[in-house]
Amino acid sequence: MIIRGERMYIFSGEFHPFRLPSPGLWLDIFQKIKSLGFNAVSFYTYWGLVEGEPGSVQFDGVFALTGFFSAAAEAGIYLIARPGPYINAEVASGGFPGWTLRIQSPLRGNGTDFLQSINAYSTAVGKLIADAQITNGGPVVMVQVENEYDTWPGVNNSDFPAPLNRQAMAYTQKLFRDAGIVVPFMHNDHLNQGNWAPGSGLGAVDLYGIDAYPLRYDCAHPDVWPTYRFPTDWQKTHEQWSPNTPFFVAEFQGGSATGFGTSGQDGCAALVNMEAVRVLWKNNYGFGMKMFNVYMTYGGTNWGNLGYMGGDTSYDYGAAIKENRHVWREKYSEEKLQANFFKVSPAFLTAVAGNAANGSTLVGGNKDIAITPVLGTEDKTNFYIVRHADFTSLNNTQYKLQLPTSKGNLTIPQLDGKLTLFGRDSKIHVTDYDVGGIHMIYSTAEIFTWQRDRAGKRTLVLYGGEGEPHEFAFDIPSNTSVQHRSTVKSQQLSSLLVVQWSVTRSRQIVKVGTDLEVLLLWRNEAYNYWVLELPSSNPLIGNYSSPSKESVIIKAGYLLRTASIPKCSGGKVLKLTGDINATTDVEIIHEPTGNVTSLLFNNRPQPLTASSDGYLSTTIHFDPPRLDPPDFRSLTWSFINSLPEVNNGYDDSRWTASDHPNTTNPEPLRTPTTLYASDYGYHSGSLLYRGHFTSDGSETGIFLNTSGGSGYGYSVFLNSTHLRSWDGGPPAQRNRSFAETIPFPPPLSSRPIPLRAGEEYVVTVLMDHMGQDEEAPGTDAIKAPMGILDFSLLSQNTSRNKTNMLWKMTGNLGGEQYVDKTRGPRNEGALFAERQGYHLPNPPTTNPGWSQRNPIGDGVDGVTVGLFTTTFELNIPQGYDVPLSFVFHNNTAKGRENSRAQLFVNGWQFGKYVANLGPQTTFPVPEGILNHNGVNTVAITLWSFSENGAKLPGLSLEAEMPLLSGYRKPDLVPMDGWIQRAAY
Ligand code: IPT
């Protein structure tokens, strides 16, 4: 891809603004991605969060994109916009608003009703993206229309009864073009089949890309690398589908996600760890990949019910940047090593991939090694990607290289011994590589970076695993001085200076003449090195990446964000921003001007002295901040019953009557009127139904078939008597729907049962709603209804089984006319306390009905729901970035706790906790949602499934590793408090 006339490797990380609804932190993520050496971010936008009410598109507040665009520009990150309308992304309905589920014709199809439904959103988001295009001075360089729109009705899957969807694709593209989008359109093909490749017909795009998730999703067995999706022929398929565009992996597995009742997120991180980055990314380069996007690079949070039923609140994804915004050192650094290499290796951009071969002569016939050449065209540089023939191998394998070079065929190492490839590792060896005008004949050690200063000195940074033997060679006059310690061997072999060493934990340096300094690093030591671009004097480029920019190389610690050498200081001051988690030595390994004499770190002057290797250096002291987390057990909490619906005389007259005799849903009705929640505008959080009937004296129970999505549960009452609660556990664990007959209890003197003929009764069903499923390719399954699918009163009078019950329902207050415009259409569910707005700051806790009760010590009695709310103050010292998480203590000794809780922080739902299914117990809440320097409101809804009641075994606010940080402190998001609602 060529940007402003410069050929660039697109290295992009996926990051969704809607999963970090604290806009003041977007710059932090962009900077952390930029410091990886990436130059781009790919992002989805989520239609369902901005058009909850049909026709009213609201890109405001935390949903506004303008702040996202300006933060990207400030960090110098190009953007790949992926506005859908369908996005998948593990979000409810794959991003579609709930109301689209009522559309008659197949979603993503060619029906007029569907196509018209996307108009308002596509036009609005298209206009916002168009304004932010590079052609208008903004960061957006590419746009993806739709998502993986390929194994789709009418595209490949002709047996689905839908018209040809090429027209739907073309229609959507036209909406975006009409909104002013002029940058290239791209596609991410799910199955690498050439769908929508340039020239393939109506709806074809400019840039053909593929998706790939080779390690799949079995986070319960993270050590098992599946082999059935390991790619071996992508250079051939790309040549076949799109020979005239760069090979583009538009989504590559950067982790994986989990849901309720699974083994948890940590396994996903372990599955797609730094070893996966080493082996699988390098395999991609072996196909000559020149555009790359890693899904996810920062995952974030499924706050406010935005996720689909298969996921829990965390969308950490095992990504390089964790949900709490910490960098995951090993994985993040591995990505940083690779991205920086390609930044300084322009020869790769015109190199052509050959075929991988096991036991090739290039590795002396060693059958345990696979080697893939990627051969230079415009430059003579060749790249050789080496991995184990069995890419899952845990063995250490020895090999020699036999490579053609400008100095003839060389057997490498030339001096002693063999090279070593450790288990689950892969290497990029280079030949005839240009180090800023100095010709390197080969290097077996991998290149992190090289830079050239204005006086012509090159600094080359090489790295390898501990104990690995490595060798490089330069074509250099034999009288050149060569200096190094005795642990390094050097030898002149005819015109070649050959240097060999074994990687040690401590740095070794080789000085060749006056123009070249080579640093030999242990990989884990290289993790501490940062290559930061200096801002361009060309204002059009500014902080964006450009091959013509100068950079500094700094050895530091946890994170460096930015570097500049402002002219106003006479060019003497290097300004760095970054984060430390411990007292950290900083060394200026390379700065291009030769003028720097002083250093500012996060705007504080740091004394510089020369280190033993001669670099200007300093020590930055770290003092851990004093933190004073609240003790939730001893705070005073206000409490209100949140299930008054089962009280005698509860008035549901203003609830929605579930009286539509028909549905547009493909799921055929089994009830006299539809009870599908989406038919009445309720799409998230939880659902409440009240079924009224007049008894004929013979009813003995009720059959209920409900659907709430994987991990849902329900509680059923007859008048105020609890009949049955199903907690989502066995026997139907994680079922998306469940059917059972629930008997009415035998008579008790205190209860109004057995039922008396002629009297009115009400069955109340409170059920959880875990988020609509994503689309299943080739079907309209996304519309699978939530709510009551079927019911039947068991009575002797069979003709009355269904007909004599009249149902009313509610979900979030107002349904699609949702009340909380600040937090969007999905933040609230059907619970009484949510409908009243009691989860918000400043609830009316002195009103009747409220009492003092603690969720930890007291909890709730019997099967019911309670809302607990309190406030606490935080005062995190200035200058520190301290990620905070709410942690539910899981009392495993007590066995399964039959309860579920929602966590609201300043009104924002940041946790859905299912005690008996888990696995998630730690809920990070970003600063901005949490006020780190002031008062916060925390509210908890606690739903007990047990007659014994429920309490939280414990709840704490825990600080993750504190950082003395160069981040910009985020503004608080809007935190509208409680106001009296016309609630019902
Ligand atoms: C791919 C989707 O495009 C993306 O939105 C997300 O859902 C991802 O999967 C999984 O996390 S689709 C997959 C079939 C490659």
Indicate which CATH number applies to the domain containing 400: 2.102.20.10
| 922 pocket-lining for ligand 1 (C-beta < 6 Å) | no
8 Å CB contact between 446 and 278: no
Both 775 and 914 in one domain: the answer is: no
515 lines ligand 1 (CB under 6 A): no
User: Between 150 and 158, where is the model more confident?
Assistant: 150
In tens, the pLDDT along 655-708 reads 999 999 999 999 999 999 999 999 999 999 999 999 999 998 888 899 999 999
**Catalytic residue check, 148:** yes
Q: Please name the residue that has the structure tokens 């390994």.
A: 589
Report the pLDDT averaged over residues 432-446: 97
The tens digit of pLDDT for each residue in 897-917 reads: 689 999 999 999 999 999 999
Q: Find the range with the poorest average confidence among 141-145, 162-166, 688-692.
A: 162-166
More confident residue, 733 or 705: 705
CA-nearest residue, atom 7 of ligand 1: 89
Of 183-192, 232-241, 730-739, the poorest mean pLDDT is in 730-739
Candidate from 191, 218, 251 with most ligand 1 atoms within 8 A of CB, to mutate: 251
Same-domain check for residues 510 and 553? no
> pLDDT at residue 799 above 80?
no
12 CA → ligand 1 middle, Å: 16
Q: How far does the centroid of ligand 1 lie from the alpha carbon of residue 445, in Å?
A: 35
Q: What one-character-per-residue DSSP string does 844-908 give?
A: -TTSTTEEE--TTTT-B-SS-EEEEEEEEEEEPPTTEE--EEEEE---GGG----EEEEEEETTE
In this structure, of 195-199, 856-860, 888-892, the range with the lowest mean pLDDT score is: 888-892
The residue segments making up the domain with residue 697 are 644-810
**15 and 142 share one domain:** yes
Q: 144 and 115 share a domain?
A: yes
Write down the catalytic residue from 14, 74, 148, 775.
148
Specify the pLDDT at position 160. 39
* Of 14, 51, 146, 251, catalytic: 251
Question: Which residue has its alpha carbon closest to ligand 1 atom 10?
Answer: 89
Whats the size of the chain, residue-wise? 984
Q: What is the CATH number of the domain that holds 860?
A: 2.60.120.260
Which atom of ligand 1 sits closest to the CA of residue 774?
A: 7
Residue 935 has a pLDDT of: 98
What CATH number corresponds to the domain at position 71?
A: 3.20.20.80
pLDDT at 23 over 80: yes
Q: What would the mean pLDDT of 872-894 be, rounded to a whole number?
A: 88
Is any atom of ligand 1 closer than 6 Å to the C-beta of 89?
yes
The answer to whether residue 669 sits within a structural domain is yes
- Residue 336 within a domain: no
In the numeric block, the tokens 């859905």 are attached to 912
Sign of CA dihedral 85, 90, 93, 95: negative
The pLDDT of residue 804 is above 90: no
Identify the domain boundary among 328, 359, 389: 328
Coil, strand or helix: which one is 114? helix
Residue nearest to atom 11 of ligand 1 (CA): 89
Q: What is the pLDDT of residue 161?
A: 40
Opening angle at CA 725, ends 723 and 730, nearest 5: 135
| Residue 234 confidence (pLDDT) above 70 | yes
How many angstroms separate the alpha carbon of residue 44 from the centre of ligand 1?
Answer: 12
Ligand 1 mean position, distance from CA 285 (Å): 21
**Domain boundary residue among 476, 496, 526?**
526
Query: Nearest 5°: phi and psi at 760?
Result: -90, 135
Cα angle 15, 20, 24 (rounded to 5 degrees) comes to 105
Give the rounded percent of residues in the chain with a pLDDT score beyond 90: 88
| CB count in 10 Å sphere of residue 229 | 11
Pocket residue to mutate for ligand 1, from 88, 144, 188, 774, most atoms within 8 A of Cβ: 88
Per-residue confidence band for 504, with pLDDT thresholds at 50, 70 and 90: very high
Whether the CB of 189 sits within 6 Å of ligand 1: no
144 lines ligand 1 (CB under 6 A): no
- Stretch 445-473: mean pLDDT, rounded? 98
- Taking 70 as the threshold, does the pLDDT of residue 114 lie above it? yes
What integer pLDDT is reported at residue 697 of this predicted model?
84
| 894 pLDDT above the threshold of 80 | no
- 152 has pLDDT over 80: no
CB of 88 closer than 6 angstroms to any ligand 1 atom: yes
In percent, how much of the chain has pLDDT > 70?
A: 96
**Atom number in ligand 1 closest to CA 148:** 3
Q: Residue 560's beta-bridge partner residues? A: 578
- Which alpha helices (H) appear in 95-190, and where do they start and end? 112-117, 119-131, 166-178
Average pLDDT, the chain: 94
Task: For residue 743, give the H/E element and its range.
Answer: strand 737-743
Would you place residue 193 in the very low, low, confident or very high pLDDT band (cuts 50, 70, 90)?
confident
Higher pLDDT, 746 or 965: 965
Between 15-24, 141-150, 271-280, 452-461, the lowest mean confidence (pLDDT) is in 141-150
Q: At residue 158, does pLDDT exceed 50?
A: no
Mean pLDDT along residues 449-474: 98
Do residues 98 and 678 lie in contact, with contact meaning Cβ atoms separated by under 8 Å? Answer: yes
Q: Is residue 480 part of a domain?
A: yes
Distance 30 CA to ligand 1 centre (A): 22
> Is 760 part of a structural domain of the chain?
yes
The CB of 148 under 6 Å from ligand 1? The reply is: yes
User: 74-88, 365-379, 719-733: lowest mean pLDDT where?
Assistant: 719-733
Q: How far is the CA of 770 from the centre of ligand 1 (A)?
A: 19
**The ligand 1 atom nearest the CA atom of 211:** 15
CA nearest 60: which of 120, 128, 119?
A: 128
* Same structural domain, 622 and 648: no
Both 940 and 891 in a single domain? yes
**709 and 855 part of one domain:** no
* Domain final position from 581, 600, 626: 626
**880: amino acid identity, one letter:** Y
Mutation pick for ligand 1 pocket among 211, 219, 249, 296 (CB with most ligand atoms within 8 Å)? 211
3-state SS class at 201: coil
Residues 125 and 243 reside in one and the same domain: yes
When divided into structural domains, the chain yields a total of: 5
pLDDT confidence of residue 862: 94
Which pLDDT does position 190 carry in this prediction?
A: 85
The atom of ligand 1 lying closest to the CA of 90 is 7
pLDDT at residue 800 greater than cutoff 80: no
Residue 691 confidence (pLDDT):
97
Question: Could you tell me if the CB of 937 is within 6 A of ligand 1?
Answer: no
Q: Are 283 and 380 in a shared domain?
A: no
Residue 973 lies in a domain: no
| 284 inside domain | yes
Q: Does residue 539 lie within any of the structural domains? A: no
Q: Is 378 left (phi over 0), alpha (psi -120 to 50) or beta?
A: alpha
Q: Is the CB of 523 under 6 A from ligand 1?
A: no
Same domain, 648 and 622: no
Query: Around 515, how many Cα atoms within 13 Å sit in the side-chain half-sphere?
Result: 11
154 shares its domain with 21: yes
The rounded Å distance from CA 94 to ligand 1 centre is 10
CA of residue 859 relative to chain centroid, distance: 34
User: Is 983 inside a domain boundary?
Assistant: no
Q: Check pLDDT > 70 for residue 159.
A: no
Amino acid at 425: D
Residue 419 and residue 362 share a domain: yes
Taking the C-alpha atoms of residue 196 and residue 192, their distance in angstroms, rounded to an integer, is 11
- Is the pLDDT at 246 greater than 80? The verdict is yes
